[in-house]
Each structure stands twice: as C-alpha cells, then as structure tokens.
C-alpha cells in the first residue's frame, strides 16, 4: 500500500544510479548514449537493445563488483528540467558531455546550471578525443572557471576523456559515475515492498493500448500488480525490458515498459502500486482532482517579487533565485556583477541560477518553475510559447531596459525581505526513541515529550549530545496515536516528521521553539 514503511536499514540495498546525459548541441550526447547502449548492456550481448523504451541499464565492473547504471535515453537538460518542473526528479547524476575540439559552449553552461539547480552531481565526459584538434586540457581549464574543478586539480568533479565514435574509455566513464554515486549519494532502496516510481515516457500504441515506460524508485514492480500512473490505472498485464523481452519483476532503478493501463500518463508523473483495481480507480480519480487543484494552487503561490517579500515576512523563504537573460553578454555580466554587490546580510541569499544571451526560452521557464526562480529579461522578450508557458506555470518575468532600474527593484525587494527582529522562546523538548521509515513521509521519529509541549506549527531544531545539528526546521507532521495533533504535551508519546531533515538518530532531542516579533528599536 502507498505510504508503507521503507523498512529497516537492513532491508535497504544499493540501487543503480539514474543518469541523464547533457551538453551542448552536436557535442555527442546521442552518439554517447548509442555507444554505451551498444558496447555494454547488462546481461546481453553487444548490440542487444532492440527497443527504445526511454531508459536502459548497462553494467560495468568496479573494484571487482558488477555494478549497474540506468541511463535516461533522452539527452539534454530540457527534458530533465521539464520533469523537475512537474515535481519529479528522476536523475541522480548528470553526465556533462563536452566536445574536446569545441570546448565549453553556451548550452554546456546552461546544462551545468540546470544540474546544479537540481543538486545533481556532475561527471564530465570530454568527448571526441579521437579528433586531431581535441584539447581535453583546455576543456578542464574552461570548466574550472565555472567552478567545476577536476579531481586531478584538487577538485571533486571526475573528468573522463572519451570518444563516443571510437568507443574509447566508456568503461572508465561508467566507473566514474559509480564512484561519484558512491562518494556523494546514498542510493539505497528497499526492494521488499510495493513499487513506486516515475513515468519516463508514455504513448498510445495501436495494438497494445497505453504503453508507459516507468522507472521503479522503490520496491519491486510485478506483473499482475494493480497500479495508478497519472490519470491511468490498471493491472500490469506485461512488462518489457529494453531488449523487448518480457520480464516478471522490476527492482529499484529498473526501467520497464508497462502494458495494461487505461490511459496514457504524462512523463514525470508518479506511479504507485495499490491493493486492487477498484482501489486503483478510486485513487486515479481522486488524484486527478487533487492534481488539478494543486496546479491551480501552484499558479497562485509561485514566486513573484511581491510574493517573495510576503513570504519572507512570514519567515518562510530566504532564497531568491534569478535567471538573467539579456541582449548582449555585456549587459548580462553587468547585471550579475551589480546584483552581487547588493548587501543583504547573512539572512537572505540571492542566487543567479542561470544566465544567458538571447530571448527567454521555454527551457528558461521550465528551470524557473522547477527552482521557484524569477526571470529577469534585459532588452529581451520570450520566444515562441515561452511567454504563454510562463503564464501557465506562474513564473514571473520582469522586463527591464535600464540596468539601474533592475538593480533598484531587486534590492528593494531583498531589503523588504529582511526579517523583522524576533525573540525566541523554547516550547519544549522530545526525545527520539525509535525511527520508522515511511516511503511517503521519509523518516518518522517516534518520540517521548520530555518537557513542555511540541506544537505542529512550531519551529524545531535537532540536538545530538547537546549540540545543535540542525536548526530552524519545520515539522511535516505531528501525530498522537494515529491522529494528527496540533500539540503534544509532556509525558506523552508522539510521532513526528521533520521537514527537509532526514538524518535523525535515536537519542536525538527535538526542541520546539517559537519566534515572537519584537519592535525594532
């Protein structure tokens, strides 16, 4: 059932990283995906893939162990960010392809920014090294300027020189992906539970009806399971892998083509396994209604500069993300430099997550939607459907033709964002006695309130051995027995979820506090 526990630590097994290939046009993304597919396919002879299903797995040996990797078969950051704008993050790691004869180009930087905005680690594939004018050292130097520093220069990004054409160093590239995943991500999932995951792509097939390629993110999907996927639902009639072979089960990170749905779900939508068909239908209907409502709500809450000030005043948001687009590179640089000069203190952070020359594109709007960013257009306008899309997604585009005006308005907003002065008072403390993993909610802390009161809407911090390990967090839920509670008092047990902080441990203390506004002197 949806929302059941993730299980014990001991149930978790390593799952393959899911990788998206990004980079500038013509730098070899498609060729690289083809080469990887042909050269090294899990459990198959070379050239074994017969079917395009939107994602495929390959395997490679790392330190004597066979390790699998899932590759999303749609290259480019556009699809990646469009999924994120829909609330889905399929990708664990990005391979940034840079042609060694061409070097870093505008879309290289754009891809880099999109991966960063998503918090996805990057492995650089320096491609086309078979070419006589290839200059991999130059590529390393160029990317260093963007803060992507090769390991060999003391940084933490892995760079691998490859040739997609000559199929050179592909194993090294895959190894770098595995090593990066091991070093910076905790990719584990419990296969012993009902499956959940994402729809990667879907279409209506004349003979087979709705066909969806899904990526299992947790649990194991089985033929015969009742599932809900977007607006579609039904019993999994058959599953196919990337070879076109029938499979009975799909474990975490495994892409599979699913037959048997009643309707075609959208890319980026979730799927879940439920008890039976009847339940599936009910959930699909409810979900559709809820998604419609959420879409409408999103439209309202998405950031405008004014909303931003309001949310800052409520103490909700401290990060303003901007995307800068200008007519010439000089104006974009001048704008970014001037923004960097604004002194907003330590409380607020202003982040330029992407910048570029030229019209505002749909990709810019997608990134803004995915990252709650505002787009600044300096002497440029939206192109094609980008303007309509911004309206639909609730993304604000602010147009300027004088740099000074842009700076002045953003500065005013940021200053308005500065929080009033608050005084803190402690409400109470609870000790974490046990931790339950829920696939829906994350880690649930089973607590005993040892003093005062824990309130649902209070701010909390986590204390470990009397030291603060995380501060100023919100509660995602507070329950007494099975019921939602607005507060739980000393001497009672409760279950709570701390938002945006999963790293709780038994013995940690959750301290609830509130901030009271006091008059500025």
Which residue numbers belong to the known binding site for GTP? 23-30, 73-77, 127-130
Instruction: Kindly state whether residue 25 participates in binding ligand GDP, applying the rule CB under 6 A.
Output: yes
CA 78 to chain centre: 14
Cβ-based nearer residue to ligand GDP, 170 or 236: 170
Choice from 1, 8, 9, 26 touching ligand GDP (CB under 6 A): 26
Determine, following the binding rule CB under 6 A, whether residue 27 of this chain makes contact with ligand GDP: yes
Residue 344 CB, shortest distance to ligand GDP, in Å, is 39
Instruction: At 137, list the tokens.
Output: 């050292």
Any idea what DSSP says for residue 264? P
Binding of ligand GDP at residue 128 (CB under 6 A)? yes
Q: At what angle do helices 305-313 and 403-417 cross, to 10 degrees?
A: 20
Q: Does 127 bind ligand GDP (CB under 6 A)?
A: yes
Which range of residues in 49-57, 163-171, 355-363, 428-436 is near ligand GDP by CB under 6 A?
Answer: 163-171
For residues 21 and 376, which CB has a smaller minimum distance to ligand GDP in the complex? 21
Q: For residue 256, which of 56, 44, 42 has the smallest C-alpha distance?
A: 56
- Residue 220 interacting with ligand GDP (CB under 6 A): no
Q: Return the axis-axis angle of helices 106-117 and 77-85, rounded to nearest 10°.
A: 30
- 29 interacts with ligand GDP by CB under 6 A: yes
Is residue 28 within the footprint of ligand GDP (CB under 6 A)?
yes
Grouping H, G, I as helix, E, B as strand and the rest as coil, residue 458 is: coil
The reply on whether position 131 binds ligand GDP by CB under 6 A is yes
By CB under 6 A, tell whether 77 contacts ligand GDP.
Answer: no
Is residue 79 part of the contact set for ligand GDP (CB under 6 A)? no
What residue is closest to ligand GDP based on CB?
28
Tell me which of 30, 142, 311, 318 binds ligand GDP, using CB under 6 A: 30
Nearest Cα to Cα of residue 236 among 276, 282, 201? 276
Number of helices (H), then strands (E), belonging to the chain: the values are 11, 30
Annotated binding residues: 23-30, 73-77, 127-130
> Could you say which of 7, 75, 232, 252 contacts ligand GDP (CB under 6 A)?
75
Residues 6 or more apart whose CB falls under 8 angstroms from that of 184 comprise 121, 156
Helix/strand/coil for 190: coil
Q: Which is nearer to ligand GDP, 46 or 402 (CB)?
A: 46
- How are the residues of the chain apportioned to helix, strand and coil, as percentages rounded to the nearest 5? 25, 40, 35
Q: Does 31 bind ligand GDP (CB under 6 A)?
A: yes
- Binding to ligand GDP by CB under 6 A, coded x per residue (else -) over 430-459, reads ------------------------------
CA dihedral over 35, 200, 264, 85, signed as positive or negative: negative
DSSP SS3 for 181: helix
Site string for ligand GDP, 38-67 (x = CB under 6 A): ------------------------------
Candidates 23-31, 77-85, 384-392, 468-476: pick the segment binding ligand GDP (CB under 6 A).
23-31
Cβ pair 394, 366 in contact under 8 A = no
- In our burial notation (b when 16+ CB lie closer than 10 A, e otherwise), range 147-164 reads ebbbeeeeeebbbbbbbb
Q: Which residue has 């409760």 as its token pair?
A: 494
Report if residue 303 touches ligand GDP, rule: CB under 6 A: no
**Interatomic CA distance for residues 250 and 503, integer angstroms:** 28
Contact set with ligand GDP (CB under 6 A): 23, 25-31, 75, 127-128, 130-131, 163-165
């Amino acid at each position: 059932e949806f929302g059941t526990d993730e299980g014990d630590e001991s149930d978790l097994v390593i799952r393959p990283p899911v990788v998206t290939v990004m980079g500038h046009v013509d730098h070899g993304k498609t060729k690289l995906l083809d080469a990887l597919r042909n050269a090294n396919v899990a459990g198959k002879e070379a050239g074994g893939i017969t079917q395009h299903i939107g994602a495929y797995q390959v395997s490679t040996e790392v330190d004597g162990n066979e390790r699998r990797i899932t590759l999303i078969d749609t290259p480019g950051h556009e699809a990646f960010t469009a999924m994120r704008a829909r609330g889905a993050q399929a990708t664990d790691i990005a391979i940034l392809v840079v042609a060694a004869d061409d070097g870093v180009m505008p879309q290289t930087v754009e891809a880099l920014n999109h991966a960063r905005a998503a918090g996805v680690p990057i492995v650089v594939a320096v491609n086309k090294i078979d070419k006589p004018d290839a200059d991999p050292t130059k590529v390393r130097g160029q990317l260093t300027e963007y803060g992507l520093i090769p390991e060999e220069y003391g940084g933490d990004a892995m760079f691998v020189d490859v040739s997609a054409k000559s199929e050179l160093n592909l194993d090294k590239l895959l190894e770098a992906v595995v090593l990066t995943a091991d070093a910076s991500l905790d990719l584990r999932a419990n296969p012993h539970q009902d499956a959940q995951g994402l729809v990667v792509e879907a279409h209506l097939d004349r003979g087979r009806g709705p066909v969806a390629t899904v990526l299992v993110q947790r649990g194991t999907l089985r033929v015969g399971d009742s599932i809900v996927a977007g607006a579609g639902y039904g019993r999994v009639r058959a599953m196919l892998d990337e070879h076109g072979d029938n499979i009975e089960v799909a474990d975490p990170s495994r892409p599979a083509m699913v037959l048997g749905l009643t309707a075609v779900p959208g890319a980026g939508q979730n799927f879940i396994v439920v008890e039976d068909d009847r339940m599936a239908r009910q959930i699909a209907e409810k979900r559709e209604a809820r998604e419609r409502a959420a879409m409408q709500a999103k439209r309202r809450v998405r950031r405008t500069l004014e909303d931003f000030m309001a949310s800052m005043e409520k103490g909700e948001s401290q990060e303003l993300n901007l995307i800068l687009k200008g007519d010439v590179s000089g104006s974009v640089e001048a704008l970014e430099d001037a923004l960097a000069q604004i002194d907003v203190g330590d409380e607020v952070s202003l982040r330029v997550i992407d910048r570029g020359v030229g019209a505002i594109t749909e990709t810019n709007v997608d990134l803004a939607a995915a990252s709650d960013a505002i787009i600044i257009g300096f002497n440029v306008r939206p192109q094609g459907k980008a303007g309509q899309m911004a309206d639909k997604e609730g993304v604000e585009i602010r147009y300027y033709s004088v740099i000074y005006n842009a700076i002045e308005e953003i500065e005013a907003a940021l200053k308005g964002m500065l929080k009033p002065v608050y005084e803190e008072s402690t409400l109470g403390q609870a000790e974490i006695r046990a931790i339950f993993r829920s696939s829906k909610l994350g880690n649930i802390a089973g607590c005993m309130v040892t003093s005062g009161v824990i309130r649902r809407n209070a701010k909390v911090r986590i204390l470990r051995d009397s030291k603060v390990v995380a501060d100023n967090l919100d509660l995602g839920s507070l329950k007494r027995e099975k019921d939602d509670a607005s507060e739980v008092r000393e001497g009672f047990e409760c279950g709570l979820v701390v938002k945006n902080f999963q790293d709780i441990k038994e013995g940690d203390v959750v301290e609830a506090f509130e901030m009271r506004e006091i008059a500025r002197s």
